[in-house]
């Protein structure tokens, strides 16, 4: 119980340490914030709700069109990127990275963390 919470905090802290990550959050599929490390902590809850809706909408659109479950949603802007990945049936992980961050490494880290989160919540 308290162990799960501790492990979650570690997972989020580790992800936050990855190069270029400005904010990250573990979010339930239905939009509740599980744990986060955000630059603007007071926005964490609404950020969580938005991210879950975004990924959910993308997954529905893609599967309905017969293109399967998407691996991730990437939102690009000149100020940086927002990346959301599913982490099993209960949760997803979202990060915000700075614009100069290379995609390759962070995607790898994110997938690894998503796998861990999935296992943690099983």
Partner 1 sequence: MIETGIPKLDEFLGGGIPKGKSLVYYIQPGVEGEVFGLQTIYNSLKKGDTGVFVVSSTIPDIIKGQFRDFGWDISKFKDKFFFVDAYDSLIGAPSNEKYVVPNPDNIEAFSKIIISAIKELPPSTIVFGSLSTIIDLCGEKETMQAVMTWNKMAKIYDHVLVYNFTAWPYSEESLKAIKEDMFNAVISVGGIAERVIFGQYFGILKADWTTEIKKSMLFRVLRPGGIKLYIPKILVTGPFDSGKSTFVHALSTRAISVDRLGTTIALDHGHVDYKGFSADIFGTPGQERFDPIIKLLSGESMGVFLIVDSTNPTDFIRAKQMLEITKSYGLPFVIIANKQDLPGALTPEEIREQFDLSHDVPIVPVIAKDKKGVYEAFEVLIDKITGGL
Binding stretches for partner 1 (CB under 8 A)? 1-2, 4-6, 8, 28-32, 34-35, 45-46, 49-50, 52-54, 56-57, 60, 90-91, 121
Based on CB atoms, which residue is closest to partner 1, 7 or 107? 7
Give the residue from 80, 77, 78 showing the smallest Cα distance to 95.
80
Smallest gap from Cβ 38 to partner 1, in A, equals: 15
Q: Can you state the angle between helices 2-17 and 103-120, rounded to 10 degrees?
A: 180
Q: Which two tokens stand for residue 4?
A: 């799960």
Q: Hey, which residues does 21 pair with through a beta bridge? A: 97
For residues 90 and 62, the answer to whether their CB atoms sit within 8 Å is no
CB atoms within 10 A of CB 44: 18
Based on CB atoms, which residue is closest to partner 1, 49 or 74? 49
Based on CB atoms, which residue is closest to partner 1, 39 or 42? 42
Strands 80-87 and 91-97: antiparallel
Smallest gap from Cβ 120 to partner 1, in A, equals: 10
Smallest gap from Cβ 108 to partner 1, in A, equals: 25
Based on CB atoms, which residue is closest to partner 1, 38 or 106? 38
């Amino acid at each position: 119980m308290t162990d799960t919470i501790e492990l979650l905090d570690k997972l989020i802290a580790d992800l936050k340490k990855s190069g270029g990550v400005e904010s990250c959050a573990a979010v339930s599929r239905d939009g509740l914030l599980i744990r986060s490390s955000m630059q603007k902590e007071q926005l964490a809850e609404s950020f969580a709700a938005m991210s879950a809706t975004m990924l959910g909408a993308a997954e529905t659109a893609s599967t309905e069109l017969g293109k399967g479950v998407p691996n991730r949603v990437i939102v690009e802007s000149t100020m940086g990127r927002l990346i959301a990945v599913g982490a099993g049936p209960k949760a997803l992980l979202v990060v915000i990275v700075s614009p100069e961050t290379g995609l390759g490494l962070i995607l790898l880290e994110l997938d690894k963390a998503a796998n861990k989160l999935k296992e943690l919540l099983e």
